Chains A and B, each alone.
Chain A
Amino acid sequence: MMRPLPLFKGQRPAVPVTAAPKDTVYSSQWRLIYQKFKKHKLARISMYILGAFYIIALFAQFIAPYGLQSYDSKYVNAPPMGLRFVDADGKFHIRPFVYELKSERDPETLRKMFVPDTEKKHFFKFFVKGEEYKFLGLIPMSTHLFAVDEPGRIFLLGTDGMGRDLFSRIVLGSQISLSIPLVGVGISFILGLIIGGISGYFGGWIDSMIQRIIEIIRSFPTLPLWMALSAAIPPRIPVVTMYLYIVIIFAFIGWTDLARVVRGKFISLKNEDYVIAAKIAGVGDAKIIVKHLLPGFMSYLVVATTLAIPSMILGETAMSFLGLGVRSPATSWGVLLQEAQKIENVALYPWKLIPLAFVILTVLTYNFIGDGLRDAADPYKK
């Protein structure tokens, strides 16, 4: 057994590897990483949560009780309804229920005040037939996970300015918000890695030229590009396609950051002993890059990627702010946040800020996963 390494004060010792000696001796690089990752508690929890989000996104239309176009003028800006088990008389019900909402318009402020009507109870029902939808865009279905009988309504997280259920919109919006950024980040990642790697590894005039091209691309003014794109796009294009275009453009401009960092790292690592050794041994350039140089800054890649995904989610919000990108009735978390961006919502209807919690949770989980990956991939951390 090796002597434990001296530590900084307060630094906890790394988790000691105890079980499965056979695996750790003979496993490949990646298997080692996978095993270490499993041990990182926070990362594991985050994986479960994020996994749950993606599953919800997949089954969004099933889980959401209402659709994206369920406008209802009777319930404009209604606050979240509480699920109850005990009614006004003190009786306990196993099945949860909600009270119907009575609404009154304050004659002075014209604000709709919602009061639960304790006379009318609506019980939760599972696997209910509701609005039609197409599962995965292909299979027509109409079963929803839960709902209440007409004329009752179930607004778990309240409604928005057009009477639509916020919970449904969040769940349905997650489809766009959780999937599209992956595409954008994927593209940036690959481009940045390849181009930055080539630039840093080969140096010389290749490096020079690529760096100049990066400078030119960075100087593109994105606003007129969006405006021109926005004007050129035919109006009937499916929202998802439009968003995809935008994300692709984002990615094509966004890879420059990663490329630059990769190049910096490559230049610094290029002259490490083990790289020179590999070169002398006759290993091809590509293999050197992938097998020797990459793992050297894997952690940065991981951190950068897990940072990039939430920034793509937010980038979409910024576009909505400027009036471009996804538009109602199509919904994404960015659209929801953009709608919340009004003083009256912050002041009077604060439940409209709930999508923010979802975004934060997503960001947190991605980051803890990133943490776990980083720790797992660190060759020096015992």
Chain B
Amino acid sequence: MFEYILKRILLAIPVVVVISFIVFYIIQLPPGDYVSSYSAKMSASGDIMTQAEMDDMRANLGLDRPIYEQYFVWVKKIILHGDFGFSFNYNKPVMAVIQQYMGLTLVVSLVTMAFHYIIAIPVGIYTAVKQYSAGDYFFSGLSFIGMATPNFLLAIILMFFSYKWFGNPLLGLFSNEYVNAPWSMDKVKDLMQHMVIPVIVIGLSGTADLIRIMRGQMLDELNKPNVITARAKGLSEMQILFKYPTRAALNPIVSTFGWSLSSIFTGATITAIVLNLPIQGPVMHNALLGQDMYLAGTFLLIMALLTVLGTLISDILLAWLDPKIRTEFRGS
């Protein structure tokens, strides 16, 4: 197993390098560049830039050099100085920007992820075990509604009703007076209040998927001979449940579990925009839209790393979960 992991880590390096270049290339693919977006914004507020000023700015930011040069300069800085470059939009080093939003992103992401798995897996198991019961229909119905409604529509509906019934639409993650305030119990309470809508919105849709998959898998496994045998042998229901069907049923979930790592990093983007959550997702979205090269590039690089790491973790989990897979990996 150990050599397997080592081999995978070694393989990861060329993959990440290839990704980094592709990604860098794709970012600047749309026409225009950062200076175009910048001058467009400036002219919208009456501050018109001349062609000379724009050319000047391009030269200053190094945007007039060919794409290969820009890429190599960037990579060189990363490897030699650990310097991920500069965000044109924020006028700050890229790392500073990412760090600024990292904390809250993790909070939101982890809470919603916990919500997902803690609710989805047991509910999935339950609806499989009690197929066609009232509980099954209730949960299935709820999860369908969650799955069928686009996140941002649900978000805006919930915000509006929150305003209508409670007088407070719960925008963003903090009320006005707590945004810059130091941490205190009140601030935590404020945060928890504001987390309600995001968790419901983000949680509901993703949970639905997981519930359905879990349920489907469990239904598959529950009638298999090994379960019947185990029961005949006298194992308790709980033991049976966790030893055989659940493990096999978790297979598809675990296969893609590692990829949720990169989504933890960004948080849900469109929902975050609608709900005004100050997390990485919208920051990356804007960086891509405005072609803020180094910020976007670094984001994508980190996500690539997390994706590769995620795949590795998934594979390890798969092996741990299913002895048949373990043999397969060892054997190869």
Report A-B touching, CB under 8 Å: yes
Is A303 a contact partner of B148 (Cβ separation < 8 A)?
no
Q: Is the CB of A219 within 8 A of B217?
A: no
Interface residues of A in 262-309 (CB under 8 A from B): 263-265, 267-272, 297, 299-300, 302-304, 307
- Is B41's beta carbon under 8 Å from chain A? no
**What is the bound-complex CA distance between A270 and B328, given in angstroms?**
9
Within B105-159, the residues touching A (CB, 8 Å) are 129-133, 140-141, 144-145, 147-150, 152-153, 156-157
A221/B288 contact (C-beta < 8 A), A8-B129, A215-B15 known:
yes
* Nearest opposing residue in chain B for A342, CB measure: B156
B148 & A364 in contact (Cβ 8 Å cutoff): yes
| Contact status of A346 and B325, CB under 8 A, knowing A203-B332, A318-B150 | no
Chain B, residue nearest A318 (CB):
B270
Q: Per a CB cutoff under 8 Å, which of A220, A260, A353, A381 touches B255?
A: A260
Q: Are B254 and A264 in contact (CB under 8 A)?
A: yes
Q: Are A231 and B30 in contact (CB under 8 A)?
A: yes
**Chain B contacts of A223 at CB under 8 A?**
285, 288-289
What CA separation (Å) do A221 and B303 show in the bound complex? Answer: 10
Closest chain B residue to A271, Cβ basis: B324
Q: Is the CB of A363 within 8 A of B251?
A: no
Closest residue of chain B to A379, judged by CB? B223
Bound complex: CA of A282 vs CA of B265, how far in Å? 48
B190 at the interface (CB under 8 A from A): no
A268 touches B251 (CB 8 A): yes
Chain B 15-31, CB within 8 Å of chain A: the 1/0 string? 10011001100111111
The reply on B194 being an interface residue by CB < 8 A is: no
The answer to whether the Cβ of B204 comes within 8 Å of any Cβ in the partner chain is no
* Bound: A362/B148 CA distance, A: 9
Q: Is the CB of A215 within 8 A of B328?
A: no
For A225, the chain B residues whose CB sits under 8 A away are 26, 29
A153 nearest CB across to chain B (Å): 28
Query: For window 1-55 of chain A, which residues contact chain B by CB distance below 8 Å?
Result: 5-6, 8, 10-12
Distance of A225 Cα from B26 Cα, bound (Å):
7
Q: How far is the CB of B312 from chain A (nearest CB, A)?
A: 10
B145, B157, B216, B270: which has the most chain A beta carbons within 10 Å?
B216
Residues of A within 8 A of B145 (CB): 360
- Shortest A249–chain B CB gap in Å is 13
B19, B27, B252, B291: the one contacting A264 at CB < 8 Å is B252
A381–B227 CA distance with the chains assembled, in angstroms: 13
The residues of B that contact A310 with a CB separation of less than 8 Å are: 147-148
- Chain A residues whose C-beta falls within 8 Å of the C-beta of B19 in the assembled complex: 215-216, 219
| Contact A12-B150, Cβ < 8 Å, known A219-B23, A263-B255, A367-B212 | no
User: Which residues on the A side are within 8 Å of B141 (C-beta)?
Assistant: 364
Cross-chain contact B148 with A359 (CB below 8 angstroms): yes
Contacts of A382 in B (CB 8 A): 223
Count of residues in B whose CB is under 8 Å from the partner chain? 71
B300 at the interface (CB under 8 A from A): yes
User: Chain A contacts of B11 at CB under 8 A?
Assistant: 208, 212
Proximity bits, A78-108, B CB within 8 Å = 1, else 0: 0000000000000000000000000000000
Provide the bound-state CA to CA distance between A212 and B152, in Å.
33
Asked if B307 is at the interface (CB within 8 A of a chain A CB), the reply is yes
Q: Is B219 an interface residue (CB 8 A)?
A: yes
Contact B325 A337 (CB under 8 A): no
Interface residues of B in 290-328 (CB under 8 A from A): 291, 296, 300, 303-304, 307-308, 311, 314, 318, 322, 324-325, 327-328
The answer to whether the Cβ of A228 comes within 8 Å of any Cβ in the partner chain is yes
A204's partner among B28, B311, B332 (CB-CB below 8 A) is B332
The verdict on B228 contacting chain A, using a C-beta distance below 8 Å, is: yes
Q: How far is A46 from B251 in the complex, measured between Cα atoms in Å?
A: 29
Contact B311 A356 (CB under 8 A): no
Q: How far is the CA of A225 from the CA of B332 in the complex (A)?
A: 37
A343 contacts B by Cβ under 8 Å:
yes
**Minimum Cβ distance to chain A for residue B202 (Å):** 14
- Is the C-beta of A341 less than 8 angstroms from some C-beta in chain B? yes
Contact A267 B150 (CB under 8 A): no
Q: How far is the CB of B267 from chain A (nearest CB, A)?
A: 15
The CA of A317 and the CA of B296, in the complex, are separated in Å by: 24
In contact, B311 and A224 (Cβ under 8 angstroms): no
Known contacts A216-B15, A223-B285: A264-B318 contact under CB 8 Å: yes
- A241-256 vs B, CB cutoff 8 Å, 1 = contact: the mask equals 0000000000000000
Q: B276 to chain A: closest CB distance in Å?
A: 13
Q: Is A218 part of the binding interface, using a Cβ–Cβ cutoff of 8 Å? A: yes
| A265-B251 contact in complex given A219-B19, A337-B150, A380-B224, C-beta closer than 8 Å | yes
| B193 interfacial by beta-carbon distance below 8 Å | no
Evaluate contact between A307 and B147: CB separation under 8 angstroms.
yes
Contact present for A218 and B307 (CB under 8 Å): yes
Q: Do B327 and A341 touch (CB < 8 A)?
A: no
- Pick the contact of B252: A227, A300, A378 (CB < 8 A): A300
Chain A residue at minimal CB-CB distance from B300:
A221
Does B220 interact with chain A (Cβ within 8 Å)? yes
A341 touches B152 (CB 8 A): yes
Q: With A227-B30, A300-B217 as given contacts, are A216 and B152 in contact (CB-CB < 8 Å)?
A: no
- In whole Å, how far is A69's beta carbon from the nearest beta carbon of chain B? 25
A265 CA to B327 CA in the complex, in Å? 14
Q: A6 and B231: CB pair below 8 A?
A: yes
Minimal Cβ-Cβ distance residue in B for A200: B328
The reply to whether A363 and B332 contact each other, CB–CB distance below 8 Å, is no
Q: Complex Cα distance A160/B255, Å?
A: 44
B256 proximal to A (CB < 8 A) = yes
Residue of A nearest to B157 (CB): A346
CA distance A381 to B252 in the complex (A): 21
Question: Can you name 21 A-B pairs with beta carbons within 8 Å?
Answer: A212-B11, A216-B15, A216-B18, A216-B19, A218-B259, A221-B288, A224-B28, A224-B291, A227-B288, A265-B252, A268-B318, A271-B327, A300-B217, A307-B209, A307-B212, A314-B150, A317-B153, A318-B270, A343-B156, A346-B160, A359-B148
Given contacts A223-B288, A268-B251, 17 further A-B contacts (CB under 8 A): A8-B130, A8-B222, A11-B131, A207-B332, A211-B311, A218-B307, A221-B300, A227-B29, A257-B256, A260-B255, A267-B328, A268-B248, A268-B318, A271-B327, A314-B148, A346-B156, A362-B148
Closest 9 CB pairs of A and B: A380-B223, A264-B255, A363-B148, A227-B30, A303-B216, A360-B148, A219-B304, A228-B29, A261-B252
